[in-house]
Amino acid sequence: MKLPFVSIILATSMLATSASAGCATGAVVGGVVGHFAGHHALVGAAAGCVIGHEMKKRHHHYRRYR
């Protein structure tokens, strides 16, 4: 049971770029939410990756052009 959480923590700590960081953190959050919302962790992780990537891109754009 602890192995998935340890691997998630290690995977998110080894990220190099900000774009992949948005995807990875979104995937982690989406996977957890999907797991508790009816055992749809993979669908939640995929949706979280897309949403996290978009949010990171918007945040970067907002900070750059403001």
Q: How confident is the model at residue 46 (pLDDT cuts 50, 70, 90)?
A: confident
Q: Which pLDDT score is estimated for 12?
A: 59
Q: What is the CA radius of gyration of the chain?
A: 13
Q: What angle do CA 40, 14, 56 make, to 5 degrees?
A: 65
Residue 53 has pLDDT above 60, yes or no: yes
Amino acid at 10: L
- What does the pLDDT look like over 3-45, one tens digit per residue? 676 666 666 555 545 556 677 788 888 888 888 888 888 888 8
CB 41 within 8 A of CB 35: yes
Q: How confident is the model at residue 2 (pLDDT cuts 50, 70, 90)?
A: low
Q: Is residue 26 exposed (0-12), middle (13-18) or buried (19+ Cβ within 10 Å)?
A: buried
